[in-house]
Every structure is written in structure tokens, then in C-alpha cells.
């Protein structure tokens, strides 16, 4: 069975494992992440998807955490339940077979809303030292409604020869991404690759090759969630050559590393938020009542015009 899965993966660039994790195990992880968010920790970085800002959970208001589209980074570093989904005794051997090397978990991404990310391949952003020494999985934490911005992918697109950027490597150069997208669009059309949608059910797992073209579909109903966890894995050989700190788990490893840096602007934003709400109790009350997600939102919409400042 695993041999056939390997054959299919090599040909298509992906594999789907239906109902791989039980509802009970998924619920336990989701509940633990919900509690972690309520704690507003200062050691969990988030990327705000609508603005591109990076911050700590602890620098956001509870209303922002509850309502803004965000990507929560690297919960695997200190949440055993998240690591278990990534490197369980059942999934790790499959990753070993498909990657062809011992997997080393290098990051985790938690989403509550669809990413709406344009079609891309992971290898240009998380470029492995050795070609093809990267693999990823997507774990559905709930049923994905058609209006929630479902995961989209192009079977077979992992066979497209990757474009070389001006730096002489396949690692992306931001200013050259329009050329990359044009190149990939032309290759998809030339090969006749067709976009597929993953109508995931809770507990399903999608595994994909690092060069598989994939993205997040448009969200038709912003009120709907699409909870998921994404994991990326380097080969243990690459991780060792990079002198990364590895902890063994199942037949693989997880990489212990520092959390991602947060820019000073995020701290300045938090200082403004605190000072603004302290100075204007009416705004603080409005934020608490969820009429605004933050004091900064009030300032941008009304406060500046009203002459308010800190």
C-alpha cells in the first residue's frame, strides 16, 4: 500500500489521507490552541494576513485575536499536541517514504481562516539545501466549507522546472515574483495542468511535494472559519548539515530553534494602543464591547479626524 502511495505521490505531487486523525484528537489540539490564544503569549509570532504585519499574540487585543485573519507560527516548538499531529507514529513513516529521507519538522502554521494566498510553491520560500529535500502536509481541523476559501492545487505541477532567479538560485527575489508567476502560468497552460480543490473533512491530511503549485481559494463568506495546521519538513541530512538542533520523534525529528523576530513597529503599535485606551475610556469601552477591534482602528477611522492623540 505504501509503495502504491509513493508511486502516486511521485506522479501527482500530492497524496490525500482521508480521516487520518480522529475527531477526538483534532478537538484536543484545537482546544489547546484556543487556550494558548487566550493567554496572549509573548513568545508566539503571528502574521496578519490582510496587512502583512508581524507581531506577537501578546501585542494584539483580544478582539484582534478573535477577528483578524492571521497565521500563527511555530506552535510546534512548545505544544506537544501540535507536534504529535506533525510526527505521529503513523504519519512519520509515510513522510519518510515519500520524502525518501528522515523528516525533520522545521515549522508549523496555524490558520483559522482561509489564507487566500496566490498559487505558489514552498521550495522558493523555504529553499532546501539539497533539491527535493522538503515536503509539507496540511491537516484539516474542521470540515472545509465551499465558501471558506478552500485549498487549491495543481496535480503534476511539481514536475515544472523551477525558474532560477537573478541570485542564481531557485530562492525567490521579491521584485522578480511577477516574472515567476508569469513563468508558472505559462508552464501550467503549456502542460495542461488543471486546478483542483480540496474539499477537506475534519481529520483529513494532504501531503504535497515542495514544488507542487498550490494556494488558498477566495473566501466567499468571511464569517466562516477554515481551521487547519500546515507543517513543513526538511530532510534530517539537510538539517544536520545546517547545524540545526534536532530532537528525535517517531522515525523523524523536530527542529528546536528560536522564535521568529518581530519588528520594533509591532511594539510601538502596542504602546500606542495602551496609551490611547488609557487616555480615552470611551474608546476602551467601545473596544471591550467589540464595536472596534482596537484603539488603533478607532484612531484611524475617527480619532485622528476628531483631533485625538496620545
pLDDT digits (tens, 9 = 90+) for 25-74: 999 999 999 999 999 999 999 999 988 999 999 999 898 998 889 999 99
Reported as a single tens digit per residue, the pLDDT across 135-158 is 999 999 999 999 999 999 999 999
| Cβ–Cβ < 8 Å for 124, 236 | no
* Structural domains of the chain, count: 2
pLDDT reading at 200 higher than 90: yes
CA dihedral 239, 131, 140, 154 (to 10 degrees): 170
Mean pLDDT, residues 259-279 taken together: 94
- The rounded distance, in Å, linking the Cα atoms of 120 and 138 is 15
pLDDT reading at 172 higher than 90: yes
pLDDT reading at 163 higher than 90: yes
Does residue 309 form part of some domain? no
Reported as a single tens digit per residue, the pLDDT across 217-234 is 999 999 999 999 999 999
Binned at pLDDT 50, 70 and 90, residue 1 comes out as low
Q: What is the pLDDT of residue 241?
A: 96
Does residue 233 form part of some domain? yes
- The rounded distance, in Å, linking the Cα atoms of 249 and 216 is 30
Question: Mapping DSSP to helix (H, G, I), strand (E, B) and coil, where does residue 224 land?
Answer: coil
Confidence (pTM): 0.93
Residues 276 and 209 in one domain: no
One DSSP character per residue, 59-86 reads GS-HHHHHHS-EEEE-GGGT-HHHHHHH
Expressed as residue numbers, the domain containing 277 is: 265-303
Residues 87 and 61 in one domain: yes
Residues 134 and 162 in one domain: yes
Q: What is the pLDDT of residue 50?
A: 87
Q: What is the largest CA-CA distance in the chain?
A: 68
Residues 103 and 73 in one domain: yes
pLDDT reading at 2 higher than 80: no
Q: What is the pLDDT of residue 85?
A: 98
Residues 88 and 131 in one domain: yes
Query: Which CATH number characterizes residue 125's domain?
Result: 2.60.120.620
Amino acid at each position: 500500500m505504501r509503495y502504491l502511495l509513493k508511486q502516486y505521490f511521485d506522479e501527482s505531487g500530492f497524496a490525500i489521507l482521508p480521516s487520518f486523525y480522529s475527531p477526538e484528537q483534532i478537538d484536543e489540539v484545537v482546544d489547546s490552541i484556543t487556550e494558548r490564544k487566550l493567554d496572549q503569549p509573548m513568545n508566539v509570532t503571528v502574521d496578519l494576513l490582510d496587512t502583512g504585519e508581524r507581531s506577537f499574540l501578546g501585542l494584539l487585543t483580544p478582539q484582534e485575536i478573535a477577528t483578524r485573519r492571521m497565521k500563527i507560527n511555530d506552535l510546534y516548538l512548545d505544544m506537544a499536541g501540535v507536534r504529535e499531529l506533525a510526527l505521529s507514529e503513523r504519519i512519520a513513516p509515510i513522510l519518510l517514504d515519500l520524502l525518501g529521507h528522515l523528516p525533520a519538522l522545521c515549522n508549523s502554521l496555524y490558520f483559522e481562516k482561509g489564507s487566500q494566498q496566490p498559487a505558489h510553491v514552498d521550495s522558493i520560500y523555504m529553499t532546501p539545501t539539497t533539491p527535493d529535500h522538503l515536503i509539507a502536509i496540511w491537516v484539516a481541523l474542521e470540515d472545509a466549507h465551499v465558501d471558506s476559501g478552500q485549498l487549491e492545487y495543481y496535480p503534476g505541477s511539481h514536475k515544472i522546472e523551477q525558474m532560477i532567479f537573478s541570485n542564481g538560485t531557485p530562492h525567490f527575489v521579491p521584485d522578480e515574483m511577477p516574472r515567476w508567476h508569469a513563468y508558472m502560468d505559462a508552464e501550467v497552460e503549456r502542460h495542461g495542468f488543471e486546478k483542483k480543490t480540496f474539499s477537506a473533512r475534519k481529520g483529513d491530511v494532504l501531503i504535497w511535494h515542495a514544488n507542487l503549485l498550490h494556494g488558498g481559494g477566495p473566501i466567499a463568506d468571511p464569517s466562516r472559519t477554515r481551521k487547519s495546521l500546515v507543517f513543513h519538513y526538511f530532510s534530517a541530512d539537510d538539517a544536520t548539515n545546517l547545524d540545526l538542533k534536532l530532537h528525535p520523534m517517531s522515525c523523524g525529528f523536530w527542529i528546536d530553534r528560536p522564535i521568529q523576530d518581530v519588528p520594533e513597529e509591532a511594539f510601538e503599535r502596542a504602546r500606542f494602543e495602551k496609551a490611547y485606551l488609557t487616555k480615552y475610556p470611551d474608546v476602551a469601552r467601545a473596544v471591550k464591547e467589540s464595536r472596534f477591534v482596537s484603539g488603533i482602528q478607532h484612531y484611524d477611522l475617527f480619532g485622528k479626524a476628531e483631533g485625538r492623540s496620545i
